[in-house]
């Protein structure tokens, strides 16, 4: 009796949304723009959840401000960071840095979207405005730190073969960028009505 080979026609495993958003691969610009837009859209879900405390126009206000914090960090922070890295001859291309930024925004948005259901529940059930503001700040801070961690790790990987002196200068620039990003995002997010005591 002759054994017949068994053919398998299983489809290749598809990546999850999280894996696609945080993949370290540098994609073409349209794909990176899609990743960036997805991250901003996911962050808007967290804003909508916070706006549920008041409802109405507050839903859109919270969604817009939650997204604006991330968008402004990217628009106002990444170009100067690239210029500083270029001044010390860091082996970082504009596309690679843009990819790292899009990945960081996508990671932040993904975390915020994951926190959105809990944030919505707490926003509408917590009576104390101070407690609601604390929950809001905790979610934004956690997601922001995860996004910055993603960005720093991505840029550090690009610098793995750079001379020690260049790496040291680049890490100093990255540290300054993180401080700038934290201050700017916190300033934008401080305008959120829920953080100003909206009940």
Q: Indicate the burial class of 83 (C-beta count within 10 angstroms; 0-12, 13-18, 19 or more).
A: exposed
pLDDT tens across 110-145, in order?
A: 999 999 999 999 888 988 889 989 999 999 999 999
**Predicted TM-score of the model (pTM):** 0.85
pLDDT tens across 13-57, in order?
A: 677 766 777 777 788 888 899 999 999 999 999 999 999 888 888
DSSP three-state, residue 18: helix
Residue range 58-69: mean pLDDT, rounded: 92
Among 103, 83, 84, which Cα is nearest to 27's?
A: 103
The full length of the chain comes to 199
Cβ proximity of 121 and 136 under 8 Å: no
Mean pLDDT of the chain: 88
What's the pLDDT at 85? 94
């Amino acid at each position: 009796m002759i054994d017949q080979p068994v053919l398998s026609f299983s489809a290749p495993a598809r990546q999850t949304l999280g894996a696609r958003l945080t993949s370290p691969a540098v994609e073409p610009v349209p794909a990176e723009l899609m990743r960036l837009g997805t991250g901003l859209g996911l962050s808007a879900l967290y804003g909508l959840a916070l706006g549920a405390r008041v409802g109405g126009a507050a839903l859109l206000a919270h969604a817009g401000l939650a997204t604006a914090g991330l968008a402004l960090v990217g628009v106002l922070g990444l170009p100067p960071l690239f210029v500083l890295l270029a001044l010390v001859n860091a082996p970082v291309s504009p596309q690679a840095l843009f990819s790292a930024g899009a990945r960081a925004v996508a990671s932040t948005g993904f975390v915020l979207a994951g926190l959105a259901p809990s944030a919505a529940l707490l926003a509408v059930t917590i009576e104390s405005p101070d407690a609601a503001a604390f929950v809001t700040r905790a979610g934004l801070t956690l997601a922001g730190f995860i996004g910055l961690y993603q960005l720093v790790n991505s840029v550090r990987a690009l610098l793995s073969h750079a001379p020690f002196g260049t790496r040291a200068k680049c890490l100093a620039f990255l540290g300054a960028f993180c401080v700038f990003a934290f201050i700017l995002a916190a300033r934008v997010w401080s305008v959120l009505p829920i953080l100003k005591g909206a009940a």
